[in-house]
């Protein structure tokens, strides 16, 4: 099978061809411009590829309600031209194949559950922590949409006792994203995270916020694996700190060896590494076919 995959980001689009075994056979990347231009690039790429299905994991918020006239579009975004642009419909007019359509983070969660760190599991959450913070939820073998779709990057967290930073979320000021996304680190410390040493106090504070959000996710959803990806999580010194925060927060309450004894393999980076996004879209395409 030849699965077309689109990883649609706010900065760049990655298109590729994958297989039902999770291999990537080809890929291209181009900047995200106005939708007419960008989607024309997408169409040009797939034109001679004879794909059997296309999976799209995209930035959002998006409409994932198949019963809605707006299904398949990005809903509200400051990116010029993209709000309400009929993303999926435009592609459907060109390629008459089954489509998978979901958020980038739900796609990544599905990819990880299919071929990555949560392979074979029915429940995982995928956090991307970078310019923003997003959460994909895969529960009992299904990607969760509900009313809209998860927006777990904006949960409220307690403030770190040594942290006077006001937060930068335009909606909630000091929610998780407002306190812990990449731009919050940069504004708080006057330097990008990648410029701070691995022993800088920034990382204890960062782990405090992420650890709180992960704790809440474990309590509410009981995932079998928590996967933390995105640019900020390239700072690998965060992982032991986050695990430690989670154990401290839970304080033995969730009585299972996966957490109490094996947290190193419970809270993990993406098993698919830099391919998590594109393979997530491949997984959406595979699921659309079956």
Q: Which residues make up the interface to a copy of itself (CB under 8 A)?
A: 61, 75-76, 122-123, 135, 137, 139-159, 171-172, 212, 215-224, 249-256, 258-259
Give least dist CB 224 to a copy of itself, A: 5
Tokens representing 24 are: 């990537």
Give least dist CB 36 to a copy of itself, A: 24
Give least dist CB 28 to a copy of itself, A: 33
Give least dist CB 219 to a copy of itself, A: 5
Q: Are 105 and 126 in contact (CB under 8 A)?
A: yes
Nearer to a copy of itself, 32 or 249 (CB): 249
Nearer to a copy of itself, 42 or 135 (CB): 135
Beta strand 124-129 with 99-103: parallel, antiparallel or unpaired? unpaired
Residue 271: phi and psi, rounded to 5, are: -65, -25
SS3 category, 211: helix
Q: Are 264 and 243 in contact (CB under 8 A)?
A: yes
Q: Which residue has the tokens 């429940």?
A: 123
Nearer to a copy of itself, 47 or 262 (CB): 262
Give least dist CB 13 to a copy of itself, A: 24
Q: Which residue has the tokens 């996967």?
A: 227
Give least dist CB 26 to a copy of itself, A: 32
- 199 Cβ contact partners less than 8 Å away, ≥ 6 residues apart: 237
Give least dist CB 249 to a copy of itself, A: 6
Nearer to a copy of itself, 56 or 218 (CB): 218
Beta strand 226-229 with 267-268: parallel, antiparallel or unpaired? parallel
Cα 193 off chain centre by: 19
Give least dist CB 230 to a copy of itself, A: 17
**Closest residue by Cα to residue 62 from 143, 167, 129:** 143
User: In angstroms, how far apart are the furthest CA atoms of the chain?
Assistant: 57
Q: Which residue has the tokens 């039902």?
A: 20
Residue 79 has a CB neighbour count (10 Å cut-off) of: 15
Rounded CA gap, 212 and 49, in Å? 45
Nearer to a copy of itself, 159 or 287 (CB): 159
Nearer to a copy of itself, 20 or 151 (CB): 151
Tokens representing 219 are: 């309590």
Nearer to a copy of itself, 143 or 205 (CB): 143
Q: Are 281 and 57 in contact (CB under 8 A)?
A: yes
Residue 86: phi and psi, rounded to 5, are: -75, 75
Nearer to a copy of itself, 193 or 280 (CB): 280
């Amino acid at each position: 099978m030849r699965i077309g995959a689109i990883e649609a980001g706010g900065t760049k689009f990655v298109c590729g061809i994958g297989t039902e075994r999770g291999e990537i056979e080809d890929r291209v990347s181009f900047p995200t411009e106005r939708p007419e231009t960008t989607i024309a690039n997408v169409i040009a790429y797939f034109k001679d590829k004879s794909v059997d299905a296309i999976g799209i994991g995209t930035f959002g918020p998006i409409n994932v309600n198949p019963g809605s006239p707006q299904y398949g579009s990005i809903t509200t975004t400051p990116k010029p031209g993209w709000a309400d642009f009929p993303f999926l419909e435009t592609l459907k007019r060109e390629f008459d194949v089954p489509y998978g359509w979901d958020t980038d983070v739900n796609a990544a969660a599905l990819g990880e559950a299919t071929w990555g760190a949560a392979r074979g599991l029915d429940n995982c959450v995928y956090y991307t922590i970078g310019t923003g913070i997003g959460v994909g939820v895969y529960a009992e073998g299904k990607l969760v949409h509900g009313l809209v779709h998860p927006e777990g990057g904006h949960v409220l967290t307690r403030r770190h006792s040594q942290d006077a930073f006001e937060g930068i979320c335009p909606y909630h000021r000091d929610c998780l994203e407002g306190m812990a996304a990449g731009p919050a680190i940069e504004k708080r410390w006057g330097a990008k995270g990648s410029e701070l040493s691995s022993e800088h106090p920034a990382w204890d504070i960062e782990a405090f916020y992420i650890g709180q959000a992960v704790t809440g996710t474990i309590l509410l959803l009981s995932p079998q694996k928590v996967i933390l990806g995105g640019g900020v999580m390239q700072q690998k010194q965060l992982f032991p700190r986050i695990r430690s925060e989670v154990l401290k927060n839970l304080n033995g309450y969730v009585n299972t060896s996966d957490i109490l004894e094996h947290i190193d393999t419970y809270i993990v980076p993406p098993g698919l590494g830099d391919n998590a996004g594109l393979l997530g879209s491949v997984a959406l395409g595979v699921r659309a076919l079956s």
